[in-house]
Amino acid sequence: MKSKRQLQRKDWPEEKILRKGVESLSNLELLATFIGSGVKGADAKSIARAMLAKHGPGLLTLGAGSLMEFRGIGKTKAAKLNALFELACRLSVGETGKNLADRIAQVAEGGLQYYLAELLAPPACYTHASAPAKASNRTCIEFFAGIGLVRYALAKCGWSVVYANDMDAGKQRMYLDHFEDDGTFDIRDIHHVPPREVPCATLATASFPCTDLSLAGGRKGLEGKHSSAFWGFVDIIDKMGTRRPPIVLLENVAGFLSSHGGKDFEDALLAMNKLGYYVDAFIVDAAHFVPQSRKRLFVIGIRGMAESSNDFGLALAQTELRPSALASFIASHRHIRWRLRCLPKLPALGKALDSLIEAVPATSTLWWPEERAAYLLGQMSPKHRETAERMIAAHRVSYGTVFRRVRHGKCMAELRSDGIAGCLRTPKGGSAKQILFEAGRGMHRVRLMTPRECARLMGSDDFTINVNHDQALFGFGDAVCVPVIEWIAEHYLNPVAESLEPDQIAAIA
Q: Per residue of the chain (509 residues), give pLDDT as tens.
A: 444 445 555 555 556 666 666 666 677 777 777 777 777 677 777 888 778 777 666 676 677 777 888 888 888 888 888 777 777 655 544 444 444 444 444 444 333 333 343 344 333 333 333 333 333 689 999 999 999 999 999 999 999 999 999 999 999 999 999 998 778 899 999 999 999 999 989 999 999 877 656 555 555 666 666 678 899 999 999 999 999 999 999 999 999 999 889 999 999 999 999 999 999 999 999 999 999 999 999 999 999 764 555 667 778 877 899 999 999 999 999 999 999 998 999 998 878 999 999 999 999 999 999 999 999 999 999 999 999 999 999 999 999 999 988 777 788 999 999 999 999 887 664 456 899 999 999 999 999 999 999 999 999 999 999 999 999 999 999 999 999 999 999 999 999 999 887 665 555 55
- In order of start, what are the domains of the chain with their CATH numbers? 9-121 (no CATH), 139-350+483-506 (3.40.50.150), 359-449 (no CATH)
Which residues does residue 10 pair with via DSSP β-bridges, in sequence order? none
CA angle 73/78/81 to nearest 5° reads 115
Selection from 152, 230, 143 nearest residue 188 by Cα: 143
| C-alpha closest to that of 176 among 508, 475, 464 | 464
* Single-letter residue type at 365: T
- pLDDT on residue 85: 75
At 314 the pLDDT is 77
The SS3 of residue 271 is: helix
pLDDT for 17 equals 62
- DSSP-derived pairing of the beta strands 398-407 and 435-440: antiparallel
- Confidence (pLDDT) at 309: 58
Q: What is the pLDDT of residue 95?
A: 45
DSSP string of 427-488? Answer: -SSGGGS-EEEEEETTEEEEEEPPHHHHHHHTT-TT----S-HHHHHHHHHTS--HHHHHHH
The answer to whether 476 and 424 have CB atoms below 8 angstroms apart is: yes
Q: What is the pLDDT of residue 182?
A: 78
3-state DSSP call for residue 106? helix
DSSP letter, residue 7: S
